[in-house]
Structure 1
Amino acid sequence: MANVVDLICYPVKGCAGTSMSDALLTPAGLAHDRSFMVISEDGIFRTQRRHPRLALIRPAVSTDGTRLTLDAADDTGRFDTLCLDVTTSAPRRDVDLFGTAYQGIDQGDEAAAWLSEFLGTPSRLVRVPPEHNRIANGLTSGPSGYADSSAVHLLSRASLALLNRRMAERGAPILPMNRFRPNIVVDSHEVHDYDSGGDPAALPHAEDRARRISVGGAELGYAKLAVRCAVTLVDQEAGARRGPEPLRTLASYRRAASGGVVFGAKFSVITPGKLSVGDEVAIQEWGDAELQELPTK
């Protein structure tokens, strides 16, 4: 039996996440997840790929979404906490997310000044507008805010344990779960090994083959494997890029049939509902892993 062991919301795309014991899963993912985004003055989204200091910004959003707090610290000292009244009535502006045009609601000059100072480059903050109608593609399509693709990223501790074992064999240090920025982390009391037998949901990378999942009061549908990028190289506590791992090790055994290094899976929301740490994760339908080569150990 697998269970939810962590729920993480990232209110501002690219910034730090907040662990929660309970969360509302909306049609577009965890409530307020990636509902804000930092952009350049010409509307291009900012990412840890080029601005790793985003990881040091810790956002918090009120339950009703009307207040946003930005907090951050670096080796020069602590920045003043910024508290904002979120606006949904300000003029829309064009934003660019991976080359696709969307709209964002600018959150004002105070937020822009705070972010520009911390990141060291002119930046602004936008919010997803209520009329945002983005549909992320995949085996199961569904609404998404400013996430890279589908609304929910799910990853198991068993998958991370296998990766860390393979990295240790190469002499590389183990990595924490936050390198991969999942929304839902699952774990099982079964032995985390391909030779363990028993419940298939206990095996590493079971999320690759899970096509329909019931968890808490919600249901998820598999969209695609999570293709990994240079964000996984960023130490989330330091806000700095570190070495070639985990991409070097992942490339040795985790390549998608369609191309790219993959780890974890993306899901769309079929049925919204409440999620809690401890909820049982029931896999209702299985499929085949879309990998070039399946791991053998």
Structure 2
Amino acid sequence: MSKPSSKPAASQADTVYFPVESCAGVAGPDAAVYDRRWFVTDSEGRWLSRGQHPRLEEVEVTLRYGYLVMRAPGMLRMDIPLDVIEDDDSVRRQAYVGDQQVDAVDEGDLAAAWMSNFLGVPARLYKVHPEAPAVAWKAAGA
């Protein structure tokens, strides 16, 4: 007969999600739908991981009032709308996570400048297109 666990079962409220892959996580059930929706790339559209750029872990992420809010030391806060209808093909790009090609949406020059300034290298913020197949983060080394 096994002993009952003295630890309470982890709830969805305790689970940490990562709206921006490789940045700090967010706890709570509201974050689940946005888990790994965004990611940072170099200027060639290749995913930048925290292994390559440890400063990504310093980017704090919260979800507030319909926005993805990013904060980092020495930077003003950056707000990105959470739920935008992705019907503007002019911002659609192909990015790469490992060897996987990912249909993505470029979040624009302001977000790119924010990430580039913080990381000290040319970078862009992409959102996985809602119609894109699931990204194989584990296979890419996440």
Q: TM-score range by the shorter chain?
A: 0.7 to 0.9
Gap change, CA 1:42 and 1:117, over 3 Å in 2: same
Q: 1:19 — aligned with what?
A: 27
Letter in 2 for 1:131: E
Q: Is the 8 A contact 2:100 2:136 kept in 1?
A: no
Q: 1:239 — aligned with what?
A: none
Aligned residues: 129
Q: Is the 8 A contact 1:16 1:59 kept in 2?
A: yes
1:59 is paired with a residue whose SS is strand
Q: When the two structures are superposed, what TM-score results if normalisation uses the length of structure 2?
A: 0.79
Q: Which of 3, 6, 10 matches 2:9?
A: 3
Q: When the two structures are superposed, what TM-score results if normalisation uses the length of structure 1?
A: 0.40
Gap change, CA 1:89 and 1:60, over 3 Å in 2: farther
Per-residue deviation, residues 172-205 of structure 1 (Å, max 9, x unmatched): xxxxxxxxxxxxxxxxxxxxxxxxxxxxxxxxxx
Which runs of 5 or more residues in structure 2 are unaligned? none
The higher-RCO structure (CA 8 Å, 6+ apart) is: 1
Q: Is the 8 A contact 1:13 1:147 kept in 2?
A: no
Which runs of 5 or more residues in structure 1 are unaligned? 135-145, 151-228, 232-297
Share of identical aligned residues, percent? 28
Task: Compare CA radii of gyration and give the structure with the larger one.
Answer: 1
2:57 is paired with a residue whose SS is helix
Q: Is the 8 A contact 1:72 1:81 kept in 2?
A: yes
1:146-185 paired onto structure 2 within 5 Å: 146=135, 148-149=137-138
Q: Which has the higher strand share?
A: 1
Q: Distance in 1 between matches of 2:30 and 2:75?
A: 31
Task: Compute the RMSD of aligned alpha carbons.
Answer: 2.4
- The runs of at least 4 consecutive aligned structure 1 residues that moved more than 3 Å come to none
Q: Distance in 2 between matches of 1:89 and 1:58?
A: 28
Q: After TM superposition, give the deviation of residue 79 of structure 1 in Å.
A: 1.3
Gap change, CA 1:147 and 1:68, over 3 Å in 2: farther
